[in-house]
Structure 1
Amino acid sequence: MSAAREMLCDTARAVFAEAAEAGMAPVEAAGFDLLLVPEADGGFGGDWGDANAVLRIAGVAVPDLPVAERILSGLGDAPKTLHAAATVGLMAGAMGQALALSIEHVNTRQQFGRPLGKFQAVQQSLAVLACEVAAVDAAAAAMAARLDAAGLDAEAADFEIAAAKLRANRAVGIVTAVAHQVHGAIGFTREYDLHRVTIPLMRWRGLHGNDAYWAERLGRQVAGFGGRGLWETLTARAE
């Protein structure tokens, strides 16, 4: 992570901590609508990697506030696909938090005289959860790289956006189920933090296109590439 992005993330954490109590006012005052605006136009001059990093933090700290909409407002009438891309960042952050909470819980909760995390069945469930989180992280990173390479041209990055949103959508069911399974009853209580990320995850799954929408959109592109064309496209974009 660059020094500038690390400073941006530190700022985001501080702003969102205040926003968790005060609402959107601190976010608006912090100028996140200028994050993706070029420096020549008076903005921060950030890229999608920066936006993705901020959105991941928002997905944990303030999942119910319209941070994504605020960031994209600086671009004017942003296309639906960019809103979907922003939602992937929120989802990646929330899934990472669900994993972190699950690991912490199984390492502290005792059952039959030892931590839950010592039981092989629990370890296997957490491994599945961790794989889903890692897959969404990778999809979000690939999408960010493509958007940055395309100058935030959503149409040029449509393949990566569709793949990332579909992968994140499909991970929601597994992530929320496993996280709540390893937590047991406490995971469903209002006093515990797990529901603060799992409920938004289920909402974000259908936001800006559900599984079927993105599967069809991605499938049409893959079919259009053809077998050889798909491989050539993927390798070219990975360079």
Structure 2
Amino acid sequence: MSENREALVEMADGLFADLRGKSASECEAPLAEAGFVTLLVPEENGGFGGDWGDLAAVLRLAGFHALAAPLGEQIVEAAREHHNDIPCDSVTLAAFLRVCQAAGALDGSLKLAIDHCSERQQFGRPLSKFQAVQQSIALLAMEAGAANCAAQGAAAALDRGDGAFEIACAKLRANEAMKHGSALAHQVHGAIGFTRDYPLQQLTRRMMAWRSEGGNDAYWSTRIGKQALEWGGTGLWDNLTTRTD
């Protein structure tokens, strides 16, 4: 991670934590003052001059802290106003934003699950000591890791110039991770996870909405299938091996 991204992530983490639980309108002024909206705007135009990897890192934290503001959409809109070389169509970009947010929300759900199971006692010992609970947390960690890898891979593809195929695959995998990850997180929490005062529902409610926003499973399965048929057998393998390092 570059020094600029480290500083960006540190600032975002602190600010988003302070804005947790606040409405989108209440978040607007602090976010504007911090300059996050100009993340993708070139430096010569008064912006931060960040790349898609920077955006992925910021949106992951937005998802982690259940930020209510549509920060990703605002960043992309500001970037479009200053240059026209934004790759991909609007649906694909929306999918990318949701993948990044999902990675953070799943990480947040995992942290809550670990903390809860370490503190909650049952039959004289913490829940985290039960093998079945450990297995559920391990599966949740796997889903969170998959979503994070998908987000990072999609961001890297966008930075190379063409990330449409990678985003399609990332959104489909993130949708699966959100489905299974949310269920696992609530499973280990029990009833408390559904209560309004407990923060888990802030994350899982958003993830259930994000699964359909930016394209649902059927939409991205169809797009990936059409692309695979267009490339053909040998072409599909060639593209899969040449599009990444």
TM-score range, shorter chain: over 0.9
Q: After the TM superposition, which of the residue ranges 95-104 and 70-79 deviates more from structure 2?
A: 70-79
Query: Do the aligned partners of 1:35 and 1:45 also contact (CA within 8 Å) in 2?
Result: yes
Q: Match for residue 181 of structure 1? A: 187
Distance 2:101 2:185 in 1: 17
Structure 2 counterparts to residues 4-19 of structure 1, below 5 A: 4-19=4-19
Q: Judging changes above 3 Å, is the alpha-carbon distance between structure 1 residues 210 and 235 closer, same or farther for their aligned structure 2 residues? A: same
Amino acid at match of 2:5: R
- State the Cα deviation string for residues 139-198 of structure 1 (Å, max 9, x = none): 111101110011xxxxx2110010111111111111111100100111111111101100
- Give the conservation status (yes or no) of the 8 Å contact 2:94–2:213: no
3-state SS in 1 of match to 2:50: coil
Pairing partner for 1:33 from 11, 16, 37: 37
Check whether the contact 2:100–2:151 (CA below 8 A) recurs between aligned residues: yes
Identity %: 52
Deviations 1:47-74 (A, max 9, x none): 0110000001111224321111111121
**Equivalent-residue separation in structure 2 for 1:63 and 1:43 (angstroms):** 22
Kindly indicate whether the alpha-carbon contact (under 8 Å) linking 2:155 and 2:163 is maintained by their aligned counterparts in 1.
Answer: no
Distance 2:10 2:123 in 1: 41
Q: 1:162 aligned to 154, 160, 168, which one?
A: 168
**Where in structure 2 are the equivalents of 1:157-236 lying within 5 Å?**
157-236=163-242
| d(CA) in 2 for partners of 1:29, 1:62 | 20
Measure the CA separation in 1 of the matches of 2:180 and 2:199. 18
1:18 deviation in Å?
A: 4.1
Name which of 125, 136, 152 aligns with 1:141.
Answer: 152
8 Å contact from structure 1 (residues 36, 47) kept in 2: yes
Distance 1:170 1:184 in 2: 21
User: Which amino acid counterpart does residue 202 of structure 2 have in structure 1?
Assistant: R
Between the aligned partners of 2:222 and 2:232, the Cα distance in structure 1 is: 15
Counterpart amino acid of residue 45 in structure 1: G
Is 1:53 matched up with 2:64?
A: no
CA contact (8 A) 1:18 1:26 kept: no
Residues 63 and 197, structure 1, Cα contact 8 Å, conserved in 2: no
Runs (5+) with no aligned partner, structure 1: 151-155
Please state if 1:119 is matched with 2:141. Answer: no
Residue 3 of structure 1 aligns with which residue? 3
Query: Where does structure 2 lack aligned partners over 5 or more consecutive residues?
Result: none
Contact 1:28–1:70 under 8 Å retained in 2: no
Looking at structure 2, the residues matched to 212 and 80 of structure 1 have their Cα atoms a distance apart, in angstroms, of 14
2:65–2:108: 8 Å Cα contact kept in structure 1? no
Q: Is the 8 A contact 1:19 1:25 kept in 2?
A: no
Please give the TM-score of this superposition, normalised by the length of structure 1.
Answer: 0.93
